[in-house]
Amino acid sequence: MLERIESPHDLRGLTADELTELSQEIRDYLVASVSQTGGHLGPNLGVVELTIGLHRVFDSPRDTIVFDTGHQSYVHKLLTGRRDFSGLRTREGLAGYPQRSESDHDVVENSHASTALSWAAGIGRGRTLRGDKDRTTVAVIGDGALTGGMAWEALNSLAAAQDRVVIVVNDNGRSYAPTIGGLARRLDGIRTDPRYEQFLGWGKRTFENRGPWRSFTYRTVMHGKRALKGLITEPGMFDDLGIKYVGPVDGHDLEQVEAALTHARDYGAPVIVHVLTEKGRGYTPAEEDVADRFHAVGKIHPETGLPVKPSRFGWTKVFAEEMVEVAREREDVVALTAAMLAPVGLQPMANEFPDRVIDVGIAEQHAVTSAAGLAFTGYHPVVAVYATFLNRAFDQVLMDVALHGAGVTFMLDRAGITGDDGPSHNGMWDMALLRHVPGLRIAAPRDAPTMRRAFREAVDVSDAPTVVRYPKGPVGDDLPALRTSGDIEVLAEHGDSPQVVVFGLGSMAPTAIDAAEKIAANGVDVVAATANWVHPVPAGLLDILGSAKLVVTVEDGLSDAGMGEEWAAYARLAGNDARWLHRGVPREFLQHASRPQVIEQVGLDASAIADDAIAALD
C-alpha cells in the first residue's frame, strides 16, 4: 500500500480496509527505518491515522498544514512522496523536521515549539486578505506545546478573527515527559471522564452542527433513532475565548478523525479539534516505556528497542551528578526546566528533591523570569535548557535577571554544533547574544573536572547571572593544564618562544591541542591554551600572548561575534599588536549533517586551522 502513495491525492480512493493496511505498513516502516538511522520514533507512531486524515480532508499544499515543532512530520513526509528514509538526518538525506527545500508540502522549518498557531494566524489572515476564502490553514500542535505562552497569545488573536484556521490539538499527555500544569490537568479530566470512555465504546460516530453553533457535539447512532449528546458542548478553556471546539476525538479511529476535520474545515472560521493519540502507538517497547526513551532514539534493535551501541558517559550526566551533590549540600539551590526534565539531566534531582525541581512546560520566558523571582526570595535557581532554546528568553535574561542583579545560573546543554537535528537546534548563538548582557559571566568547560568546577563556581555567584555551556554527546578525556597564567590555562607547549597562541574554547580545546601540534611540525613555536570562564575577558590574557605574532581563537559559536572578537578587541586596546584569526561557525543556518561533517564544512578541524595559521604567518 505505501508504495502506491506518491502524493496525498492517492489517499482519496482507498477503502477503509486499505487505509487500515496502510496505517500498519507506515508503522512497520517507521520502526524498521528509524531503528537504523535514529530519529523521533514515538511521536510519529502516534500520529499515523491523524496524518492520513489530514491529507484526506485537506488539499495540501493548496491548504497549508503547519506542524508545531515538526518532529512528528515523518508520516507527512511519507504521504507526500518521500519514502527514502535511509539517509534521515544525515547530509544529503531527509531532514528530521519539515524542510521547504524538500517539498511544497513543508511550510515551517523551525523546530522550536509553540509557534505553529502564530504561523497559522498569519497565513490564515494573509489568505483572507488576498480573497482566498476557500483555502484552509491547519496547525497541528501537541498538548505539550500548548504549555508555551506564545501558543496562547496566538489563540487570543485567532479568537478575534474569522479566518479559515483549523487547530488540531494532538493530545497524548506528553512532551518529552508527561505534560504538566493546569492545562494538563484540564485535558486529563476530559481524557479520563467516564462518559467519554463509555462514548468511545459505542457504535458509529457522526457529528452534528447545533445552531446557533456554540460548539460541535457528537451524535452516536444507536438502534436506529436513539442518539447521545457528546461529552463536551461548552469546553471552558477554549469556548471562553470564543473559539469553537470539536472533541475529544479518538485519534486512532480514522472515521472519527475525518468526520471532525471535515466539519471543522467546512465551518470557515477558527475551530479547535481535540484529538487523543497514544505516543509510540503500535510498537510494544514504546507503548510499555514510561520514561519516554522512544521520543528520540539513536540506532536501536527494532525487536527490543535497545540501543545498538550504548551511549558513552556524557556531558549531561556530569551535570546531573553534580547537581544532586550541590543540592545535597545547599538547601537554597533549586532547579527549573522547560518540559525537558530528563534530557537536560534534572531527573535524578527530581527523584531525590521533588519539591526543589520545577518543570514549567515549554515556556522558557516564564522559566527565566520565575527564576528571578526565586532569587529574590533567597534561593539560587539553576535553569537547565538546551542552548538553542535560551534564545527565546533573551529579553528575560537581560531585563528580569541581569537588570535586577539576580543570582541565577543557566546550564546550556547542547551548546555549539549539534549537527543532525539541523539549523534550529545548533546551539551556536548563545555566546554572541549573552556577552552583551551586563554583569553576566560565561563558562565553557573542556572536560568533566572543569565542568564540575565551573558549575560550583557559578552557583556561588549571588548577584548576577552565570552561564555554563557544554556540548551534546560524550565527554572526552580529561585535559589537565600544564600551567596557568591568571585565568588562562596552558594545555600544550611547543618551543620556548611561541610565535603562535591557539585558544580552544570549551569543546574545541582538543582541537586547539591538535592544531598546535600540526603547527609545531612546521618548525613554529606554539602554545595551545584555554580558559574555563571565557567572558568577561579572562585575567592573564596579555601575559600569555607575550610576543606572539599570531593568535588563533577556535570556538563553536559565531566566529565574527564571539569570544575571539571580544578578546582581540581587549588586547588591541591594551596595545597588543598581534594578528588575530577567529575560527568558529559562520553566520548562517547550517543544514543537518553529523557534527564531524559540520566541523569540517566550516573549517573547524585541526588541519584546516593549522593550515590557516601557517598561511597567516607566511
Residues belonging to the active site: 279, 364, 392
Which three cell numbers mark 494?
611547543
CA distances for 161 relative to 107, 233, 500, angstroms: 22, 21, 62
143 is in an annotated binding site: yes
145 is in an annotated binding site: yes
* Residues 282/283/286/289 CA torsion (nearest 10 deg): 90
CA separation for the pair 500, 512 (Å, rounded): 11
- Answer for the pair 78, 89: CB distance below 8 angstroms, yes or no: no
566 is in an annotated binding site: no
Place of cell 497514544: 278
DSSP states of 203-261? S-EEEE--SS-S--EEEE-BTTTB--B-S-S--HHHHTTT-EEEEEEETT-HHHHHHHH
CA distances for 52 relative to 75, 254, 439, angstroms: 8, 8, 52
170 is in an annotated binding site: no
Our measurement of the distance from residue 522's CA atom to the centroid of its chain's CA atoms, rounded to an integer in Å, reads 43
- Answer for the pair 474, 480: CB distance below 8 angstroms, yes or no: no
594 is in an annotated binding site: no
SS3 341: coil
448 is in an annotated binding site: no
Residue 413 phi/psi, 5° resolution? -75, 155
- Answer for the pair 177, 342: CB distance below 8 angstroms, yes or no: yes
First to last CA, the chain: 64
105 is in an annotated binding site: no
CA separation for the pair 545, 152 (Å, rounded): 52
571 is in an annotated binding site: no
Rg, C-alpha atoms of the chain? 27
DSSP states of 513-552? HHHHHHHHTTT--EEEEEESEEESPPTTHHHHHTT-SEEE
Which three cell numbers mark 63?
491548504
111 is in an annotated binding site: yes
Residue 562 phi/psi, 5° resolution? -105, -155
Q: In what order do the strands lie in the sheet with 526-531?
A: 483-485, 488-494, 526-531, 500-504, 550-558, 579-585
Our measurement of the distance from residue 453's CA atom to the centroid of its chain's CA atoms, rounded to an integer in Å, reads 27
7 is in an annotated binding site: no
CA separation for the pair 75, 83 (Å, rounded): 10
Q: Residues marked as binding for thiamine diphosphate? A: 71, 111-113, 144-145, 172, 283, 364
Q: Residues marked as binding? A: 71, 111-113, 143-145, 172, 283, 364
Q: Residues marked as binding for Mg(2+)? A: 143, 172
